[in-house]
Amino acid sequence: MSGKGLTRSPGSDARGVAAEELRRHNLALIIDRLHFAGPMSRSDLVTRTGLNRSTIGALVNELSELSLVEVGPATTASGPGRPSPIVRPRPEGAVVLAVELAVDSIAVATVGLGGHVFNHVRVERPRKHLLPVDAVAVIADLARPLLGSLPANHKFAGVGVAVVGVVRRSDGYLHIAPNLGWRDVPMGALLSDALSTGHPVSVANEADLGAIAEHRRGTYPNARNLIYVSGEVGIGAGIIADGVPLHGAAGYAAEAGHTLINPEGRPCRCGGTGCWETEAGEAALLRHAGTCGDTTGLAAIAELSRAAAAGEDSALCAFTQLGHWLGLGIGNLINLFNPDVVVLGGLYHRFYEYLELSVVKGAKSQALLPAWDVATITKAGLGTDAPLVGAGELALSALIADPARAESLREYHRARPLRESGAPVPRSQGA
Ligand SMILES: [Zn+2]
């Protein structure tokens, strides 16, 4: 699509390159707006992008030729003058596989442009360590029917994976996942081999992806400074600073669960002592409830949930104590990052009604007043699916940044077929 009409003078070459870059930037701007805000009129696109009417018209035509959008008749007039045609993102124009590997469950979904979920499955798994190769086999087994059921004309655009661990973004290498019992796992390469979709597999930390999902599709989509804090066995955190995800030098930023909160505290699975998650993670909750030792897991949490719903003091008191420590850590984060909103996911989302008062009290006691005054604490708008939604966004991000990539997308069934896994998946570890 490039190189047309260029003449040979160096100055015009440079102008041609600049014009090409500008065109690609504007294509990305339009598809970003449609992907996150949904269908809108061409007039609304003019307003939301700042581009002029004729530029929008030409670029929308180009996106239509790339099968990423479709233009339909206006349903109502959106202001003075003629009704403006409605532009819709085409989910089937770019479909990705989203995967979430959590401690207690594994989820996969097929997601299209615009955030449309074609299919979705989540299976709980028993709380015991699963070998990486077995987890990958479970993921492939779950993904196969979803991908196989995509209609023939759907273009496949990639795979995004949310995993509860410290991940190197460049190649999906999982350095450490204390709560899975894993260390040094080439997660991206293992999944790429097992899924064999012909596309790279992007892997990132689940809380980082939860933050992205809540930032773009949650309750406060316009918040430019958002912190996502998710409780499962440990604590995950993801930070959006001034509208941009905070990755750090290599993608390891925001490991708030392993920041020190109690120097006199307990050993942490990471090898440290007194980490935030030793006081506000799941084991701490059960400890506060009087469930001693290593008795952690879904059954114990379910029993605590039942007791809290029945109004039993010991259970409600356990949530209050957990909320205190959770709030102190959130106060630290508010002082560090001055967020508009702190979003609580996972376990904290599930039990928000029991945690809210003590979390707010703890955070307020630690945060400096000016930062506290502008911060809102709330539960995740996307619920427990935030990391899975974020995994879909991760997989789509390259296409949204450069929609011209759609030229090279293939219909899923023309891409390399998903290879059958060699060994049967142990059902006791999967569904
Ligand atoms: Zn730790």
The domain boundary, picked from 89, 121, 156, lies at: 89
Ligand 1 mean position, distance from CA 150 (Å): 42
- Distance from C-alpha of 226 to C-alpha of 214, rounded to nearest angstrom: 8
Q: Which residues of 255-283 are buried (b: 16+ CB within 10 A; e: fewer)?
A: bbbbbebeeebeebbbeeebbbbbbbbbb
Ligand 1 mean position, distance from CA 255 (Å): 9
Domain for residue 376, yes or no?
yes
Question: Which amino acid, one-letter code, is at 362?
Answer: G
Q: Which residue has the tokens 């959590």?
A: 102
Ligand 1 mean position, distance from CA 263 (Å): 12
Give the residue among 231, 329, 328, 355 at the shortest CA–CA distance from 283.
Answer: 231
Ligand 1 mean position, distance from CA 299 (Å): 24
Q: Are 26 and 401 in contact (CB under 8 A)?
A: no
Do 33 and 160 sit in the same domain of this protein? no
Ligand 1 mean position, distance from CA 272 (Å): 5
Ligand 1 mean position, distance from CA 179 (Å): 10
Do 112 and 155 sit in the same domain of this protein? yes
What are the backbone dihedrals phi and psi of residue 244, each rounded to the nearest 5 degrees, phi first?
Answer: -125, 135
Domain for residue 4, yes or no?
no
Q: Are 288 and 317 in contact (CB under 8 A)?
A: yes
CA distance to 150, 209, 211, per residue, from 218 (Å): 27, 12, 9
| CATH for 362 | 3.30.420.40
Do 70 and 16 sit in the same domain of this protein? yes
Ligand 1 mean position, distance from CA 128 (Å): 19
With both helix axes pointing from N to C terminus, report the angle between 386-401 and 10-37 in degrees, rounded to the nearest 10.
160
* Tokens read off for 418: 């998903």
Do 117 and 19 sit in the same domain of this protein? no
The total number of structural domains that make up the chain: 3
Ligand 1 mean position, distance from CA 91 (Å): 40
Ligand 1 mean position, distance from CA 268 (Å): 5
- Distance from C-alpha of 320 to C-alpha of 297, rounded to nearest angstrom: 20
Ligand 1 mean position, distance from CA 239 (Å): 18
Domain for residue 412, yes or no?
yes
Do 369 and 391 sit in the same domain of this protein? no
Task: Give the distance, in angstroms, between the CA of residue 336 and the centroid of all CA atoms in the same chain.
Answer: 22
Do 204 and 233 sit in the same domain of this protein? no
Give the residue among 220, 184, 191, 226 at the shortest CA–CA distance from 207.
Answer: 226
Ligand 1 mean position, distance from CA 338 (Å): 24
* Tokens read off for 424: 């049967």
Ligand 1 mean position, distance from CA 237 (Å): 13
Do 149 and 174 sit in the same domain of this protein? yes
Ligand 1 mean position, distance from CA 254 (Å): 13
With both helix axes pointing from N to C terminus, report the angle between 386-401 and 206-217 in degrees, rounded to the nearest 10.
80
Q: What is the pLDDT of residue 431?
A: 27
Q: How many helices (H) and strands (E) does the chain have?
A: 14, 17
Ligand 1 mean position, distance from CA 308 (Å): 28
CA distance to 192, 199, 329, per residue, from 188 (Å): 6, 11, 32
SS3 of 169, please? coil
Parallel, antiparallel, or unpaired: how do β-strands 226-231 and 376-379 relate? Answer: unpaired
Ligand 1 mean position, distance from CA 102 (Å): 18
Q: HSE on the CB side for 251, CA within 13 Å?
A: 20
Task: Give the distance, in angstroms, between the CA of residue 16 and the centroid of all CA atoms in the same chain.
Answer: 37
Ligand 1 mean position, distance from CA 269 (Å): 6
| CATH for 59 | 1.10.10.10
pLDDT tens for the 431 residues of the chain, in order: 333 333 345 566 777 778 889 999 999 999 999 999 999 999 999 999 999 999 999 999 999 999 999 999 886 655 566 788 999 999 999 999 999 999 889 999 999 999 999 999 999 887 777 899 999 999 999 999 999 999 888 999 999 999 999 999 889 999 999 888 899 999 999 999 999 888 889 999 999 999 999 999 998 888 999 999 999 889 999 999 999 999 998 888 999 999 999 999 999 988 999 999 999 999 999 999 986 544 557 788 999 999 999 999 999 999 999 999 999 999 999 999 999 999 999 999 999 999 999 999 999 999 999 999 999 999 999 998 999 999 999 999 999 999 999 988 887 765 554 544 443 333 333 32
Ligand 1 mean position, distance from CA 242 (Å): 27
Helix residue ranges, H only, 266-340:
276-280, 282-288, 298-309, 313-337
Do 114 and 62 sit in the same domain of this protein? no
Q: Which residues contact 263 (CB under 8 A, 6 or more apart)?
A: 273, 274
* Tokens read off for 337: 């990052």
The domain boundary, picked from 44, 72, 89, lies at: 89
Ligand 1 mean position, distance from CA 318 (Å): 21
Residue 403, domain extent: 92-208+386-429
Q: Which residues contact 412 (CB under 8 A, 6 or more apart)?
A: 95, 147, 150, 154, 155, 156, 197
CA distance to 40, 46, 81, per residue, from 50 (Å): 15, 6, 19
Do 85 and 97 sit in the same domain of this protein? no
